[in-house]
Amino acid sequence: MSAEGHSRLFLCAAIPRMRLTGVLAGTTGRDTGAIEIGQRVCWAACLGEFEQVEICNLTRGSRAICHVRFGAEGELRVTPSAGALMQPGDHVRIRAFGWLPAKAVAGHTAIEVTVDEQNSLVEFRRMTPRLLTLDPGTFTPPPAIDVIVDLARPQPAEAVD
């Protein structure tokens, strides 16, 4: 059977390290299993509201599957059901995956978003997966292609006399 008809699971977006700022109290049934992420970070990662993400708690070693809700800038909060083993101050990794038809893999780009300690957007990187269509023992693999968008705040210009 040809692999061309199969779908493959690929990384779509990753935020390798964010600091959890809170656990949402008094949430309604529609908000259970949610994570609130700042809108600018969601924009950079191309995360849509209600999209499923995986949260890995790097501090405690736990993991949860949640859906995204847009939150305030700099905030990263989870609902009690998602954050049962998470506390404010914990560092987490957030990843979104998606199924791609085999024919679409060559045109896919994954996004990695970097934030600072206040969860403010610093940069995002669009990465294209490399496919080894030829034996790497015989042919050199193609170079990795990363497009980096640096959003760090510019330094103030020095006064000119």
The tens digit of pLDDT for each residue in 35-71 reads: 999 999 999 999 999 999 999 999 999 899 999 999 9
Is 50 inside a domain boundary?
A: yes
CATH code where residue 18 lies = 2.40.40.20
The number of domains in the chain is 1
Which domain range does residue 68 map to?
Answer: 8-150
Mean pLDDT of 117-136: 88
Is 1 inside a domain boundary?
A: no
Is 51 inside a domain boundary?
A: yes
Q: What is the pLDDT of residue 80?
A: 75
SS (H, E, C) 82-123: CCCCCCCCCEEEEEEEEEEEHHHHHHCCEEEEEECCCCCEEE
Is 155 inside a domain boundary?
A: no
Is 129 inside a domain boundary?
A: yes
Largest CA distance in the chain: 73
Contacts of 84 (CB under 8 A, 6+ apart): 64
Question: Are the C-beta atoms of 24 and 103 separated by less than 8 Å?
Answer: no
Is 160 inside a domain boundary?
A: no
Is 157 inside a domain boundary?
A: no
The tens digit of pLDDT for each residue in 62-113 reads: 899 999 999 999 999 998 776 667 899 999 999 999 999 988 888 899 999 9
Is 70 inside a domain boundary?
A: yes
Pick the more confident residue, 55 or 4: 55
DSSP class of residue 32 equals T
